[in-house]
Structure formats: C-alpha cells, structure tokens
Amino acid sequence: MLVVKDLNTHYGNIHALKGIDLEVKEGEIVSLIGSNGAGKSTTLLTITGLLKATRGQVSFKGKDITHASSSDIVHMGLSLAPEGREVFPALTVQENLQLGAYTKKDKASIKESYDRVYDLFPRLYERKKQTAGTMSGGEQQMLAIGRALMTEPKLLMLDEPSLGLAPNLVLLIFDMIQTINKQGTTVLLVEQNANMALSISNRGYVLEIGKVTLSDEAKALSENDKVRKAYLGNIDH
C-alpha cells in the first residue's frame, strides 16, 4: 500500500534521512522504532509532503506521491496524527473534527465519520462543545487520532501517540489503535515505547540516525537481543 524507496530529507545542511526503504501492506500495523533523533518523525512528515524529499520516492496505492501537495495526499486517504497532538487549542472538539474532514465534500459521509469517531471515543462526544486546549493530554490525543480518522484514511500514521500519557491511558490508546486496524484501516506507528508498539504490530523497522538498520516480523524484533538491549530495556527475560 505504501512503498518508500531510498528516501532522503535535509533540514538545511543537516542530512536527516539517508535513504529510508520501507513498506506497509494493506491491513497491517507496522511500527517504526528508534531513539530520539533517529528520523522517525521526519520520515512521517516527508511521507505527508510537509517536508520535501531531496531524493527517493514515496508511492501510495501505486501512485507516486513524492511531490504531491499535503492536501492531495490527505485526499487520497493517507493521514497523520502528529507528534504532540497539534490540536487547534481555541477551537471546540467538534470544530477540530470538522477540520479533519476539510477535504471531504459529501455531507452524508462526513456525518458517518463523526459517528464513527464519537463511537470510538465517547469522551470526545461528551466534550464536543469544549475547546481543545482545555482538555487533558489523553483527551487531546484521542482528538488528534479522531481528527485524522475524519477523512476515512486507508492508511493512518500515528506519531508517538503514547507520549506523556499515564499508563492506563497508554493501554486505552493502543487498544483503540487495534480496534481501528480491525475496522480496516492500515496503521503505521512511530513509537518510543517499543515494547507496546511491537506487541500490537505485524512488522517493525528499527531506525538509527536516518537509516533503517533492522526490519523483521514484530515478534522476531522483540526477541532480537540488539533491539532488546537498545530499545526495550529488559535484557533478562
């Protein structure tokens, strides 16, 4: 569904991505793990067109989207819930969701998307008239995911959805990700919490300073000694 080949991205003189290759197949949950500054978020931002690739190719559903505009990419069914939630703080929950459906014209299908999101996150329904900036971190994360789902994406990319959340909320969010996947949305997940991420994924990629250094089935990765030592923090068991 998503194929990334030899992706290179620069921030000015800094060569942030040095030839990333990865693939996400329909129906999968794929994790991208790695430490701070490895290029995980940069990879997602380049795929969405918010950062420009300096070399390489991104194709989605067989179409080359390397140089497509963000709005075209969203319209094709690829959406991102960015790191740090990035909700619109002074707008209400409902207005945030409405913006999620910005590229959609069909009223009936927008209505369906609201129903689906409110169904997944009843909390958002309770707070739909509240401004997003006044909500807790967990609720804002639900809103960020809900907002990304409003376009009915084929592929949902999540950047650090567990960041800064209490453990019970992390469990809830990961549970939601699995539910969303079972409803037919493919998921590309970037996480520092590698344990959790691999436990719900089919496959995973390990990123180190702008390169993919390992890729395997999620189960194999979580049993890989190098990965356990570097990212999972449990060498004994």
Partner 1 sequence: MIEQLLNGLALGMVYALIAVGYSLVFGVLRLVNFSHGSVYAFGAHMALFFVGLQFGVIPAIVFSIILTGILDILIDKFSLAPLRKKKSKGIAALITTIGIAYIIQNLLMIFFGSQTKPFPAIFDYGYVTVLGISIKSTQLFILVVSLILLAILTYVVKFTKIGLSMRAVEQNQKAASLMGINVNSVIRFTFFLGGASAAIAGSLISGYYQVVYPNMGFLAGLKAFSAAVLGGIGVLYGSIVGGLVVGVSESYAAALLGGSYRDAVAFIILIIVLLFKPTGLFGKKDITKV
Q: How far is CA 9 from CA 38, 162, 206, 218, 219, in A?
A: 13, 26, 18, 26, 30
Reduced to 3 states (helix: H, G, I; strand: E, B; else coil), residue 214 is strand
Quick check: 166 binds partner 1 (CB under 8 A)?
no
Q: Which lies closer to partner 1 via its Cβ, residue 109 or residue 134?
A: 134
Q: Which two tokens stand for residue 20?
A: 């990333």
Quick check: 147 binds partner 1 (CB under 8 A)?
yes
Cβ 49 to partner 1, closest distance in Å?
Answer: 8
Q: Which two tokens stand for residue 171?
A: 């469990």
Quick check: 11 binds partner 1 (CB under 8 A)?
no
Touching partner 1, residues 127-146 (CB under 8 A): 131, 133-134, 137, 140
Q: Which lies closer to partner 1 via its Cβ, residue 4 or residue 80?
A: 80
Length of the chain: 237
Cβ 141 to partner 1, closest distance in Å?
Answer: 11
Q: Which lies closer to partner 1 via its Cβ, residue 99 or residue 166?
A: 99
Q: Which two tokens stand for residue 69?
A: 């505009």
Q: How far apart are CA 147 and CA 63, in angstroms?
A: 25
Torsion of CA 21, 27, 28, 32, to 10 degrees: 50
Quick check: 74 binds partner 1 (CB under 8 A)?
yes
Quick check: 202 binds partner 1 (CB under 8 A)?
no
Q: Which lies closer to partner 1 via its Cβ, residue 82 or residue 204?
A: 82
Beta pairing class for 186-191 and 29-33: parallel
Quick check: 92 binds partner 1 (CB under 8 A)?
no
Cβ 165 to partner 1, closest distance in Å?
Answer: 12
Residue pair 143/132 in contact by the 8 Å Cβ criterion: yes
Reduced to 3 states (helix: H, G, I; strand: E, B; else coil), residue 87 is coil
Cβ 136 to partner 1, closest distance in Å?
Answer: 9
Touching partner 1, residues 104-123 (CB under 8 A): none
Q: Which lies closer to partner 1 via its Cβ, residue 122 or residue 164?
A: 164
| Cβ count within 10 A of residue 55 | 14
Q: How far is CA 176 from CA 46, 122, 183, in A?
A: 25, 12, 11
Q: Which of 27, 37, 164, 184 binds partner 1 (CB under 8 A)?
A: 164
Find tokens 């420009």 and name the residue: 52
Residues that bind partner 1 (CB under 8 A): 48, 50, 69-71, 73-75, 79-80, 82, 84-91, 95, 98-100, 102-103, 131, 133-134, 137, 140, 147, 151, 164
